[in-house]
Amino acid sequence: MRDVENYLEIKKISAARFGREVMRDPRFVFDLRAGREPRARTVCRVRAFLEQSR
């Protein structure tokens, strides 16, 4: 998800921290980068977090 990568760059936080705080999974972003396809519910959760963080 490009939005996640943009958020990491803008906020200067690590992928592991983002995954831990948003999904309680420090490997979340690394798994996305490796091709993991998130469920629709997961996408909604991440998007909601990103919207609240603006």
What pLDDT is attached to residue 28?
98
CB 36, CB 29: distance < 8 Å: no
| Predicted structure pTM score | 0.91
CB 32, CB 5: distance < 8 Å: no
pLDDT digits (tens, 9 = 90+) for 23-42: 999 999 999 999 999 999 99
> Which residues, at least 6 apart from 25, have a Cβ–Cβ distance to it below 8 Å?
19, 31
CB 16, CB 26: distance < 8 Å: yes
Domain residues for the domain of 47 are 2-52
Tell me how many domains the chain contains: 1
